[in-house]
Amino acid sequence: MGENITQKIIKSHLVSGEMIAGQEISIKIDQTLTQDSTGTMAYLQFEAMKIPRVKTKKSVAYIDHNTLQQGFENADDHKYIQTVAAKHGIYFSRPGNGICHQVHLERFGRPGWTLLGSDSHTPTGGGIGMLAIGAGGLDVAVAMAGGPYNLSMPKVCRVTLKGSLRPWVSAKDIILKVLQLLSVKGGVGKVIEYAGPGVLSLTVPERATITNMGAELGATTSIFPSDQQTREFLKAQGREDDWIPLVADEDAVYDEEIELDLSTIEPMIARPHSPDNVVSVVEEEGTKVDQVAIGSCTNSSYLDLMKVAKILKGKTVHKDVSLVIAPGSKQVYTMLAQNGALADLIDAGARILESACGPCIGMGQAPATDAVSLRTFNRNFYGRSGTSSAQVYLVSPEVAAVSALTGMVTDPRGFGKAPELDMPKSFLVNDNSIIPPADDGSEIEVVRGPNIKPFPLSSELADRVEGLVLLKMEDNITTDHIMPSNAKLLPFRSNIPHLSNYCLTPVDETFPARAKENKGGFLVAGHNYGQGSSREHAALVPLYLGIKGVIAKSFARIHKSNLINSGIMPLVFEREEDYDLIDVNDRLELVDAISQVKAGGLITIRNITKDIDIRLRLELSTREREMILAGGLLNLTKKTRS
């Protein structure tokens, strides 16, 4: 029996376990990446392990999130990351060098290698044939220390692409179509592997758009073959020696299969407030637009922005539209400047932002009250833009550019000849904004500003766990709900006590005060709790507030792992209808907790207020049960080393 691409990479990196879907495995990690929003905490955790130098083949620290410097906090964190990177063998990508996923694809990604990143969009690397997985910062810290990454062996879903895209239809429309078909929960526990003759027509940047936004499916990752397109991209980056061929065997077996005819896909749009609320652009045509934002790790490549420049050249942005554009990397920015495309963008009336995440994470460019904002980003969660009343739509660069000119959502197929571009034979390579680590870090002093506070640690599991239900929530609660991420709060990512004042406030503004008053308790939620970002602050801050367990109908993969890493129990209703048996302010009690967790499987928790027992599933591996008993991954690591 042949092997698919996912199985080939996992097999060559397997440390323990069997490659049987659903069983826990551990794999060796070749590369790691962090960004500054999650990186400070990851490096604090790495330092706690007392490892003098990273043990990966390459680790890179990027500065791309917290680039607005309204106070000392962001600059202090950047100095901390730069010095800790120099000391411990980590490459440092300076502010302005670009978004981590775009730069990593350009300069470091390698087919057949594994990449673990403290950002949920790390699967972007799958566009170059990497097994690239997003995780919490602590998992990345463990990988930097030489430890394996543990995960459930995913199922592999093959998406067979046939035909080719018609003019004005792009890679963004492909992934929006996949989201329409599968939903934000459809990829949970799976790797989405692309195959078929249609793959050959897609460049690496186009593939990266698809794998990047595959994170919104809830998938472990997405991956494309490493073929001639991959080789040409790496050659143009001056890295042809990094290329290897990597394709699935002809008789490879998959757990699921989907077929898409690219010639039938239309320009698509995701309506507020979910990336899977997808329809054809035609269904929204004519909707007045107030803001257009082009960029993010999804759509800020050289090819994307050259298409935008060609559309805008010689024209003027509609008088009622604010158009902002953020090139994904210094490489992209400089090439646009050299060939005149940047002047075309500016001349049309676009506002050019620095090469960073910017408005995608709510770091500036918040829309006006009740505004409609078209964005080429990957998420349109409620309030993520910084304006809770804004209506945020997700579209391709082509739809965004044309709509910026017309002032309304516009199907670009009626706009004339579509821009055509070829992959450059060579990209501009200048790595002077990537600082290598010191050869000997022993003399490097790590600089810590006053905003950097110790991270919270849980204690060993008590045999009796009791507390009030502090919140009861619906389906699809995101990490943006749990730990808001905006320009006001991002500078405090290394200050958990400060962040605790804002935890879950988009759901209930009184939550932080009630959690502190009651010394913690339980959270109850519907399906897909914790979807979205990999930010482990969505677990660390509830830990700081004393949350003992989260009871939900189901969990998003990364957030569930972050809860376990923090020593918080992720409990799943055995019967979904039992969700109705718990209300806010009910007092819950878990007795014989240690023996129940050790036994695994079903857990009985008592609702003292209603005088009923509720059966819950604690779906953990043996290793994860040990983590819950020890009070989290760091406690377990210290315990096993002592």
The answer to whether residue 586 is catalytic is no
Q: Is 227 strand, coil or helix?
A: coil
Buried b / exposed e across 266-283, counting CB within 10 Å, b at 16+? bbbbbbbbbbbbbebbee
| Bridging pattern class, strands 114-117 and 155-162 | unpaired
| Bridging pattern class, strands 291-294 and 322-325 | parallel
d(CA 345, CA 342): 5
Question: How crowded is residue 314: how many other Cβ atoms within 10 Å of its Cβ?
Answer: 8
d(CA 442, CA 517): 45
The answer to whether residue 64 is catalytic is yes
Using alpha carbons, select from 566, 570, 578, 635 the residue that is nearest to residue 597.
Answer: 570
Question: Which one of 36, 64, 77, 480 is the catalytic residue?
Answer: 64
Q: Angle at CA 375, nearest 5°, toward 480 and 379? A: 25
Q: Who's near 31: CB < 8 A, 6+ residues apart? A: 56, 57, 58, 59, 60, 108, 110, 113, 114, 115, 116
d(CA 614, CA 604): 6
Contact predicate 250/587, CB 8 Å: no
Using alpha carbons, select from 98, 129, 99, 124 the residue that is nearest to residue 112.
Answer: 129
The answer to whether residue 119 is catalytic is yes
Q: What are the two backbone dihedrals, phi and then psi, of residue 291, each rounded to the nearest 5 degrees?
A: -140, 145
Q: Ramachandran region of residue 23, left (φ > 0), alpha (ψ -120 to 50) or beta?
A: beta
d(CA 372, CA 575): 40
Question: Which one of 88, 107, 207, 379 is the catalytic residue?
Answer: 379
171's enclosing H/E stretch is helix 171-182
d(CA 587, CA 584): 9
d(CA 139, CA 313): 46
d(CA 212, CA 222): 8
Calculated CA dihedral for residues 392, 396, 399, 400, nearest 10 degrees? 50
CA-based torsion, 561, 566, 568, 569: positive or negative: positive
| Bridging pattern class, strands 149-152 and 131-134 | unpaired
Q: Is 10 strand, coil or helix?
A: helix
Question: Which one of 76, 77, 119, 276 is the catalytic residue?
Answer: 119
The answer to whether residue 527 is catalytic is no
What six digits make up the tokens of 253? 């077996």
d(CA 502, CA 509): 8
Question: Which one of 152, 170, 433, 533 is the catalytic residue?
Answer: 533
Q: Ramachandran region of residue 6, left (φ > 0), alpha (ψ -120 to 50) or beta?
A: alpha
* DSSP state, residue 579: G
Cis ω before 78 (30° cut-off from 0): no
Residue spans of beta strands (DSSP E) within 219-344: 221-223, 256-261, 268-270, 278-280, 291-294, 322-325
Question: Which one of 13, 375, 413, 535 is the catalytic residue?
Answer: 535
The answer to whether residue 261 is catalytic is no
What six digits make up the tokens of 132? 């690239």
Question: Which one of 65, 121, 271, 413 is the catalytic residue?
Answer: 65
Q: Who's near 28: CB < 8 A, 6+ residues apart? A: 13, 14, 15, 114, 148
The answer to whether residue 535 is catalytic is yes
Residues with catalytic annotation? 64-65, 119, 379, 533, 535
